[in-house]
Amino acid sequence: MTLQQLKYVIEIVNCGSINEAAKRLFLAQPSLSNAVKELETELGIELFIRTPKGMILSTDGAEFLGYARQIVEQTELMEQRYLNKKPSRQLCSISTQHYAFAVNAFVNLVRRSGGDEYQFTLRETRTHEIIEDVGGFRSEVGILYMNQFNRKVLEKLLREHRLEFHPLFTAKPHVFISATNPLSHRACVTLEDLKDCPYLSFEQGEYNSFYFSEEILSTVFHKKAIYVSDRATLFNLLIGLDGYTISTGIVSSDLNGENIIPIPLQVEEEIQVGWISHRQTRLSYPAQAYLSELKAVITEYGLSLFE
């Protein structure tokens, strides 16, 4: 087993495809495949399951990946310390529901990375895809919420993907509305106050179940409802149509300006936001740094981190 073989496995996982990994490594695809097969033979385990859609990490492969990342990272630290070697390209991939604080933390991560080269990925995507991304090692960290309504369904799905949920904070529900909305002067609002306003939410594709909704109270009927796929569009519609959406109450004026404001929603509900990771792998240093930035951003907004 060589350090190069460990790097091959990591690159295949990062790319999600052996063909793409071969291109990035400047290798012929058969050469990379043979290197992996030789490693599997030496270890006596199957690292990848070959499918028509590509190579998927096996259970043994997921455990091996965690060790491989640790060894490669520690080796690079030693080379930087004793051989004055230039740090390698930083890699980090995050999947998240549509949260401004998650983007804030990502911005801070990139700004403070200090690397000459990096490849960071931020996916604002659907709930089920976040779970699939982390379960399939396309992302190291996923960010989503749970509450009393969706918890059992999501926890079952996380167990099936061998994922763990780590609570970050608990928030009271707020609505986001335009600063020019007639309700913007209110200290709080009720669903009755909002009944004539268009309700905006993020569509969930083929997994369009109430349990995968990014917004709580997903079973409540709205006579005016609009589904969107990205946060910029949702915010534009909040302004243009005097609509509303339901979220944590954290909105970034730095990234989104002063046009969107949060107002407490009078309901007996709570939102617990957390991050998910694969239980069989250790997070890379960039992923750990992202979580530190995430926690710092959350506390800046005055919320208490979950102990």
Confidence of residue 25 (pLDDT cuts 50, 70, 90): confident
Confidence of residue 81 (pLDDT cuts 50, 70, 90): low
Instruction: Please give the share of the chain, as a percent, with pLDDT higher than 70.
Output: 93
**pLDDT over 90 (residue 80):** no
Predicted pLDDT of residue 76: 74
**pLDDT over 80 (residue 257):** no
Average pLDDT, rounded, for the chain: 88
- Between the alpha carbon of residue 121 and those of residues 36, 134, 141, 217, the distances in Å are 26, 13, 11, 30
Which numeric CATH code is attached to 1-88? 1.10.10.10
Instruction: Report which of residues 144 and 88 the model is more confident about.
Output: 144
| Lowest-pLDDT range of 20-24, 145-149, 260-264 | 20-24
Instruction: Report which of residues 306 and 156 the model is more confident about.
Output: 156
Average pLDDT over residues 17-41: 88
Average pLDDT over residues 145-152: 95
pLDDT, tens only, 210-248: 999 999 999 999 999 999 999 889 999 999 999 999 999
Predicted pLDDT of residue 184: 92
CATH class of residue range 170-271: alpha beta
Predicted pLDDT of residue 285: 83
Q: Which residue bears the tokens 């106050």?
A: 193
φ and ψ of 40, to 5 deg: -60, -40
| Lowest-pLDDT range of 17-21, 129-133, 275-279 | 17-21
Average pLDDT over residues 26-44: 90
Contact, 76 vs 87, CB < 8 A? yes
H or E segment at 56?
A: strand 54-57
Alpha carbon distance 139, 181 (integer Å): 38
Contact, 18 vs 33, CB < 8 A? yes
**Paired strand residues for 18:** none
Instruction: Report which of residues 258 and 143 the model is more confident about.
Output: 143
Contact, 122 vs 130, CB < 8 A? no
Can you read off the two tokens belonging to residue 145?
């919420």
Domain boundaries, the chain: 1-88, 170-271
What pTM was estimated for this model as a whole?
A: 0.79
pLDDT, tens only, 104-137: 999 999 988 876 777 788 999 999 999 999 988 8
